[in-house]
């Protein structure tokens, strides 16, 4: 189950995922500082030659490299360290600055700090297997433009051919799995849904709250299938979902981001509830559609999502991207 | 963190001071890299004393400080720079490493790099007003629902009362500041715009590309002012902006996320261009509106953005949030 479920969400927020991976190697062994002796400086990396950048995140200041170290395959992770409050005075005293830009009251500089105040956390996996390399490799994404016609001629046939199993969804709806995780259950066959925590959320704190509402209706694949006839269902999920989260987590609707994905990661209608202020993977404007907006658009135009052009990112290895290329749409 | 990234929307400078500032900025530009001479090192920060950490993000390696610089209130933003692929060989050759942990095939080190390979982007706002300080202080956000009527009765009067200076925007449009940073300039008074890198982007790598297109028309405050008459302007920004980015950075349109903010951080029409896959601050569905979607909506309904309900997050200390509360809309 866990494996299938993990695949529910192959999202664009690789950075977060990856930095979590990077932490994995940390802290099991306290050979470093607690041994009493300052360890020797070494430069194991001087023998490292980079084959490729597997992935990186400019926002998180992290980079994953594949290469060779003394004949062995290796993965090297470089991650800048957070700015430290306890060394600010020393940083300001001992750094050099170069002016980049000045405009009105704003100016911007490049600051060169003493190396010991600005370390880079470096994790080495060596010898690394092909699995390590694959795990850290990022797939590029491309923004795809899909008209209503594209949906019917390219996307829909692809989805139908794939016919990916939704058994795990049905297991949840039928309480055959994850029953103990359900936060709210509305059994109505038309407007009912099951609300439960997303697997990405460890439920330890409300700061990164992430729940999913899964519709009981089985014939709605995605946003594209919605029309005004589904407004009662959408209203129900919106209002009862928010009420259930207020009751269980004491989090009011004004702190929630409620949205659908297009493309979704599985073709059974579901709605994401995440905490505002938490940059949940997949909450970007290129993939997320606010449920309140969806409702408003359907109220104005019952066929809005069947006729509109929609844009979404697809990873380079996504079969659907290949279909758009074949159709000359990229 | 999205809402605390270094952005400019407030300028307290007065006319006389501004012209002096503008001259100063111009003079400094000549000292920049293109003059052939390396600019002088300075250490303006040696006079900075920290009053408080306004906010920080360990994930993003960024810290916002409030303090005093030579008697003036100042805000200083320190942000580690992304790891750069083009200097990896030098980094590996010239750095020192200290072993922290070794376990099976995993080991972890602290790397001390030559300072010029590991700079810290430093942004200074000085003199800073209480508004700047407030803006960078970590604050909870609340999702606000704004009908077209709310806009006219609550939001618009608030914007007009604030009448925040847009002098820094006009400086850019008139080439009185940041002229050397301009990537593309279309001088047409109706559909023209200036495209330049956002201050959040250090321009060292395309991975976190972030540019802003600022419209030359001065009377469009935000998305709310747009109607179908602005379609030529929006089309022009969309197409020429993408073309300029392709030419300058070799990044095709399929790798770009092009959007407007609502609420924007300053009320002069501007469009964000960020790289797909980079989780740029403010690209979340609760605040960003894809330009392609905006164009499509205006084509269908010329008054779309004047009549629709829009949702957006406001920080707890935002005066506009207070107005919505007073109006019983929260």
The answer to whether the CB of A276 falls within 8 A of the CB of B141 is yes
Is residue B81 within 8 Å of A80, Cβ to Cβ?
yes
Chain A environment of B102 (Cβ under 8 Å): 29, 31
For the segment A159-196, what is each residue's pLDDT rounded down to a tens digit?
Answer: 999 878 899 899 999 999 889 999 999 999 999 999 99
User: Which of the four pLDDT bands, split at 50, 70 and 90, describes residue A280?
Assistant: confident
DSSP letter for each residue of A31-49: TTGGGSSPPPEE-GGGGEE
Q: Which residues of B have a catalytic role annotated?
A: 270
The encoded tokens of residue A38 equal 């300052």
Question: String of b and e for A238-247 (b: at least 16 CB within 10 Å)?
Answer: bebbbebbee
Summarised one tens digit per residue, pLDDT across range B288-328 is 999 999 999 999 999 999 999 999 999 988 999 999 999 99
**B100:A32 CB<8 A:** yes
Does the predicted TM-score (pTM) go above 0.80?
no
Helix (H/G/I), strand (E/B), else coil: A236:
helix
Q: Which residues contact B19 (CB under 8 A, 6 or more apart)?
A: none
> Best interface-test mutation with B: which of A285, A312, A324, A328 has the largest number of B CBs within 10 A?
A285
Name beta bridge partners: A67: A50, A74
Q: How confident is the model at residue B108 (pLDDT cuts 50, 70, 90)?
A: confident
CATH fold of A48-136 reads: Phosphorylase Kinase; domain 1 (3.30.200)
Q: What is the pLDDT of residues A73-115, one digit of tens each?
A: 999 999 999 899 999 999 999 999 999 989 999 999 999 999 9
Q: Which pLDDT belongs to residue B36?
A: 42
The pLDDT, as a whole number, for residue A40 is 63
Q: Which residue of B has its CA nearest to A329?
A: B254
A309 three-state secondary structure: coil
> How far does the CA of residue A297 sit from the closest CA of chain B (Å)?
9
A161 phi/psi in degrees, rounded to 5: -65, -40
* Residue B16 binned pLDDT confidence (cut-offs 50, 70, 90): very low
Q: The complex's ipTM?
A: 0.73
**Strands B184-186, B193-197: pairing kind:** antiparallel
Query: What are the residue boundaries of the structural domains of chain A, listed by start?
Result: 48-136, 141-327
pLDDT at position B50, please? Answer: 95
Q: Do B141-327 and B48-136 have the same topology in CATH?
A: no
Write out the H or E segment, with its range, that includes residue B159.
Answer: helix B156-162
> Is 1.20.1090.10 the CATH classification of the domain at A141-327?
no
Q: Please, are residues B22 and B178 in contact by the beta-carbon 8 Å criterion?
A: no
């Amino acid at each position: 189950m866990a494996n299938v479920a993990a695949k529910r969400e192959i999202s664009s927020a690789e950075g977060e995922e990856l930095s979590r991976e990077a932490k994995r190697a940390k802290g099991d062994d306290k050979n470093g500082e607690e041994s009493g002796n300052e360890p020797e400086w070494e430069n194991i990396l001087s023998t490292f030659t980079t084959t490729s950048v597997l992935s990186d995140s400019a926002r998180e200041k992290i980079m994953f490299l594949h290469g060779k170290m003394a004949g062995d395959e290796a993965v090297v992770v470089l991650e800048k360290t957070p700015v430290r409050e306890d060394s600010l005075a020393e940083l300001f005293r001992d750094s050099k600055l170069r002016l980049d830009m000045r405009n009105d009251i704003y100016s911007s500089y490049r600051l060169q700090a003493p190396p010991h105040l600005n370390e880079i956390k470096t994790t080495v996996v060596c010898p690394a297997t092909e699995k390590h390399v694959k795990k850290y490799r990022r797939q590029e994404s491309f923004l795809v433009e899909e008209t209503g016609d594209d949906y019917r001629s390219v996307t829909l046939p692809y989805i139908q051919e794939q016919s990916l199993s939704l058994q795990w969804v049905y297991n949840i709806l039928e309480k055959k799995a994850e029953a103990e995780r359900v936060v709210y259950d509305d059994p109505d066959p038309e407007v009912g849904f099951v609300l439960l925590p997303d697997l990405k959320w460890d439920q330890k704190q409300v700061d990164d709250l992430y729940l999913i509402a899964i519709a009981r209706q089985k014939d709605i694949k995605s946003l594209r299938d919605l029309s005004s006839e589904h407004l009662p269902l959408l209203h129900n999920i919106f209002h009862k979902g928010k009420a259930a989260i207020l009751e269980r987590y004491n989090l009011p609707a004004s702190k929630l981001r409620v949205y659908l994905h297009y493309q979704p990661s599985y073709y059974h209608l579901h709605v994401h509830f995440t905490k505002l202020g938490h940059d949940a993977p997949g909450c970007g404007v290129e993939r997320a559609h606010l449920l309140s907006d969806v409702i408003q658009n359907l109220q104005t135009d019952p066929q809005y999502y069947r006729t509109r052009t929609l844009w979404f990112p697809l990873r380079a290895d996504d079969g659907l991207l290949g279909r758009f290329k074949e159709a000359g749409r990229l």
